[in-house]
Chain A
């Protein structure tokens, strides 16, 4: 019998930490391209956000990095707005 143990899967906290580290790698260099006064204030706000709402922080990293919306994503904004204005649909 082998003494090798299978690697322990990362727990939720580790996954969040990895996501934040990946987001940091995108956000931190971008911050340095800004006006220093704006950049330092924004960096502080983003750091607070990374602790309070990691998912929003990683979404912002995607926002900075990403390409323009696809036509489907653009259409989805209108579709969501229409559905939200007709909330009865959610209860159908």
Chain B
């Protein structure tokens, strides 16, 4: 995923969230993002195991895996937070329910983080097919 696309996807997602059915589109954006991140992590883990089998469990590989796990936790926490925000918005849960601007900001952050995460794993593994969409199989 090149840099232009990395920044383009959040913009498109933001525009879609602003234009289409808000909750539906927000949920679908999170669904695509979480599937992409999960697929990227599965790809990384398989690649890491393969390299570890060939090269041995070196400090460099452990350090790399540690960095990826930090990113994974951050991405997962972001998805969980944004998902809860959409649920709260949808249910209009009390006066503390987040408004559209907050939910948009959270989702845009998630999409941007997942884009960066996928780009990072692509750079490490050389693999790009993470089976990103649960709605439309990748070619």
Enumerate chain A interface residues (CB-CB to B < 8 A).
12, 15-16, 19, 34, 38, 41-42, 45-46, 48-49, 52-56, 58-64, 66, 68-69, 73-74, 76-78, 80-88, 90-91
Contact = CB atoms under 8 A, between A and B. Distances in A.
Contact of A81 (B45, B48, B49, B83): B83
B76 A83 contact: yes
Contacts of A54: 139
Contact of A59 (B25, B27, B72, B136): B136
B126 interface: no
Given A58-B133, A59-B133, A84 B79 contact: yes
B37 A84 contact: yes
Contacts of A62: 133, 135-136
B72 A84 contact: yes
Interface in B1-54: 1-2, 4-5, 8-9, 11-12, 15-16, 18-20, 24-25, 27-32, 34-35, 37-38, 41-42, 44-45, 48-49
B75 interface: yes
Interface of B: 1-2, 4-5, 8-9, 11-12, 15-16, 18-20, 24-25, 27-32, 34-35, 37-38, 41-42, 44-45, 48-49, 65, 68-69, 72-73, 75-77, 79-80, 83, 132-136, 138-139
Given A49-B8, A55-B133, A82-B76, A91 B15 contact: no
B34 A81 contact: yes
Contacts of A69: 24, 27-28, 31
19 contacts: A19-B139, A52-B4, A53-B5, A55-B139, A56-B133, A59-B132, A59-B135, A63-B25, A64-B16, A73-B31, A77-B79, A77-B83, A80-B35, A80-B76, A80-B79, A82-B76, A85-B77, A88-B69, A91-B49
